[in-house]
Homo-oligomer: A and B are copies of this chain.
């Protein structure tokens, strides 16, 4: 405990991952990881600022928070930093209109964004949506642009589900990068901007966070 006290000296805020840290996905949405519900409650009671920082890109924040509440966690949408809302900010700031290659569960996050006459592609973990047809469509949109812009929500290689290992968004992003001869912009972990925005929302500096 002494080592931990030392390590936590000066720490004012904590960023917590969600998938694989608070819960594991699976049947019926998933199950909490042993001790995690109580750990979150204790962190919040301790007076530390707590924020949840996830690369989840199959579900909207609303759906994710609803699932976590069902599993026993106490949190609200406003406490979650996720790639889709960060991408929406970026799109608006740069006047970008995305073609969306994303999971149906994530589309609601982009309802406020103009997707007509697209001038970029946003790719997220589309799962079954990664069909040959959908990949070609995204590729064709990119190839019709003078300067193709590809925005990738995370760069994960793969993740585990009950049915086995599944290719994550990073793999399909590499396919489009190679075919177009471009490099994607990553929104989400491990992008430093993403962590910075989470810390900003937490109201602490990087050296005060764990």
Contact = CB atoms under 8 A, between A and B. Distances in A.
B140 A135 contact: no
Majority secondary structure, A binding face: helix
Interface residues of A, number: 29
A135 B130 contact: yes
A181 B170 CA distance: 12
Interface string A2-37: 000000000000000000000000000000000000
Given A131-B131, A132-B127, A165 B143 contact: yes
Contacts of A135: 130, 167, 171
B140 A157 contact: no
A185 interface: no
A165 B178 contact: no
A183 interface: no
Contacts of A133: 128
A168 interface: yes
A181 B158 CA distance: 11
Contact of A168 (B143, B165, B179): B179
Q: Which of A166, A172, A175 is packed against the most chain B CB atoms within 10 Å?
A: A175
A136 interface: yes
Nearest to A134: B132
Interface of A: 127-133, 135-136, 139-140, 143, 157-158, 164-168, 170-172, 174-179, 181
